[in-house]
Amino acid sequence: TALTVWGGVPPRLTTSNGSQGTFVHLLRETCCGLISGFPIFSRQPYIEACPAQADGTTSKMPPIEKDTGKNELKSQIQQLIDSNQVMVFSKSYCPISVNSDLFALSRGVNYVTLSTEDGTTYQEMLLEMTGQKSVPNVFINKMHVGGCDKTMQAHEDGSLKQLLSGDAEAYEYDLIVIGGGSGGLACSKEAAMLGKKVMVLDYVVPTPKGTTWGLGGTCVNVGCIPKKLMHQTAVLGTAMQDARKFGWEFSETVKHNWDTMKTAVNNYIGSLNWGYRVALRDKSVEYINAYAEFIEPHKVKATNKRGKETFYTAAKFILATGERPRYLGIPGDKEYCITSDDLFSLPHSPGKTLVIGASYVALECGGFLAGLGLDVTVMVRSILLRGFDQDMANRAGEHMEEHGVKFLRKYVPVKVEELEAGTPGRLKVTAKSTESDEIFEGEYNTVLIAVGRDACTDKVGLDKIGVKVNPKNGKIPVNDEEQTNVPHVYAIGDILEGKWELTPVAIQAGKLLARRLYKGATLKCDYINVPTTVFTPMEYGSCGLSEEKATELYGQDNLEVYHSLFWPLEFTVPGRDNNRCYGKIICNKLDNDRVIGFHYLGPNAGEVTQGFGVAMKCGATKEQLDGTIGIHPTCAEVEVDAAKRPFFFLTQQTC
């Protein structure tokens, strides 16, 4: 039996089989769905909106005033969404409806389509409510699915069938975010602001030394923030040495107090931890300090520090668990060594320190420790800053050596022994050459391991729900919308396969993901030309490709590299680091000399690199940089007036 229905603002009606229906406005003589098992046939549009009266008659509905009727219209739309398991708002022929298999799943389900062609008021309100500009606008079980593409995708990945299931589970939360770092917090707050019920589960597993911290993740507690503050401490030490050359006179001996710095830094971090908790509360995000583990596709077990287990369910999950430092797997590493997770809250000065590794964490920590006046050695297995431009990495390393950091190259540690307990104690490190049978032995107060980081994905139950993980590194492969192979599980941040391990990237990805899921947005995170800075004593900023990667992709003959050494004005009076700062721009000759790599070694690298990152995002060419007038006297102007490698010998440039 064909059921033909008309409508405007839908009242209720009883169909021929006694089931409850809703007036709808459909547009074309096409079978486009099922209501309680009946095919719906559409007709030409009925322009007048005619709600039925109690006696079955109809009358024209008064026009909705733009201001006074706004709340009423929103209420009417929300009532439709709440009272119909499947609600589709369409403006013309709905492409979703063509697929007979798609809504065959809805047999026995109240499937309703309402046309908005008789005015823009419905679509304007739907835009305000969902952020989606286009039609159709599909809701299932009160959840906004999206438009045609999103609905078809849900059909293909199986989540539509689950949503349409008559006995579908009512989940406690729309979204559970596992991980309270920068990306997870940004995503959770964005989703909550879009009206979703959100929970954040976050738990810090103590280090072998017992170190733990509060809400905010690695960056805030044991990463970017304390690192930059301690780097700044070292920079101030250098500034005091320069100050005498600028006429400042102070006779007292200048020394550094580790405890004062550590306390000040950790007090600031504590204020950030509290601020994050307040922000979650203000956005109505529920925060639970517990370790999450999947036990079913939509169910997690949360275990708090006392061992109490609680279970939660959600329609969608976002993994934002981040990474933790990797240990060496040698005798004494976890017993006697520390990592960056321990360094920033170390209760005493580390004293004579061996840094094992050549990662950016290793060079940054070794750099600021040396800047505090400590004896620092960096043990390097192979190269510095793997993945970065090696010309720039070696220049940063050379500067560190010139300023007192010792490098022990081509060695790997084989064991660490305790000679004397204390604060600090004494440790003996035995290492073996990677090129011969030569053995090295040395004594240090502290051994800091910084050989890389591992994704925290192996103990959260991903195997139980079928999420694919790279077995070699624990990273999670995702599509361009941060979706894993399990449709309702997404991932962001450092745990993603082949993506940047940077806080701003995780924040951007988290916000955009929430908007796509719950606002109908389409913008995706752009992982290309991401600017970053390594805070070595001489800071190194980069954006785009290294010279090695550019050569691999385009060939040396298709590249033009522009570069220059320079001497910052502020270094001239103290007479230090002459001819050590360096700028390099890599251009693709096949694409109008477009800038594909930017590299800067000098003071305030982050501030300089950020601006060039914007230019590269806009597709800057060398000609455009040449046409840009630099700010004088600054270091940044060197990058817009770089010398050309094939024709000029590298010489220092000053004012």
DSSP-based helix, strand, coil % in the chain, nearest 5: 30, 25, 45
Give the E-state strand segments of 11-160 in sequence order. 12-14, 20-22, 31-35, 38-41, 86-90, 111-115, 137-140, 143-146
Q: Is 155 a catalytic residue?
A: no
Q: Residue 515 belongs to what H/E stretch?
A: helix 503-518
What is the residue type of 403?
Answer: H
Instruction: Assign 479 to helix, strand or coil.
Output: coil
Please spell the DSSP secondary structure of 335-388, one letter per residue.
HH-B-HHHHTT-SS---SEEEE--SHHHHHHHHHHHHTT--EEEEESS-SSTTS
Spatial separation of the C-alpha atoms in residues 370 and 124, rounded to whole Å: 61
Q: Which of 144, 231, 348, 632 is catalytic?
A: 632
Q: Are 392 and 582 in contact (CB under 8 A)?
A: yes
Cα separations in angstroms, 437 against 333, 410, 433: 22, 12, 6
Residue 547 is encoded by which pair of tokens? 């010279």
- 166 HSE (CA, 13 A, CB side): 8
Kind of pairing between the strands at 353-356 and 446-449: parallel
Instruction: Assign 264 to helix, strand or coil.
Output: helix
Instruction: Assign 581 to helix, strand or coil.
Output: strand
Q: Is 329 left (phi over 0), alpha (psi -120 to 50) or beta?
A: left
Spatial separation of the C-alpha atoms in residues 640 and 651, rounded to whole Å: 16
Q: Are 379 and 411 in contact (CB under 8 A)?
A: yes
Q: Are 495 and 475 in contact (CB under 8 A)?
A: yes
Alpha-carbon dihedral angle through residues 174, 176, 180, 182, given to the nearest 10 degrees: -50
State how far Cα 141 lies from the chain centre.
Answer: 30
Q: Are 17 and 36 in contact (CB under 8 A)?
A: yes
Residue 168 is encoded by which pair of tokens? 């579908």
Closest CA to 362 of 330, 332, 388, 336: 388
Per-residue 3-state assignment (H helix, E strand, C coil) for 436-478 = CCCEEEEEECEEEECCCEEECCCCCCHHHHCCCCCCCCCCECC
Spatial separation of the C-alpha atoms in residues 158 and 46, rounded to whole Å: 36
Spatial separation of the C-alpha atoms in residues 124 and 67, rounded to whole Å: 13
State how far Cα 234 lies from the chain centre.
Answer: 29
Spatial separation of the C-alpha atoms in residues 291 and 307, rounded to whole Å: 10
Q: Are 325 and 341 in contact (CB under 8 A)?
A: yes
Q: Are 348 and 204 in contact (CB under 8 A)?
A: no
Closest CA to 459 of 364, 592, 324: 324
- 15 HSE (CA, 13 A, CB side): 21
Spatial separation of the C-alpha atoms in residues 273 and 220, rounded to whole Å: 8
Phi/psi of residue 575, nearest 5 degrees: 70, 40
Task: State the catalytic residues.
Answer: 632
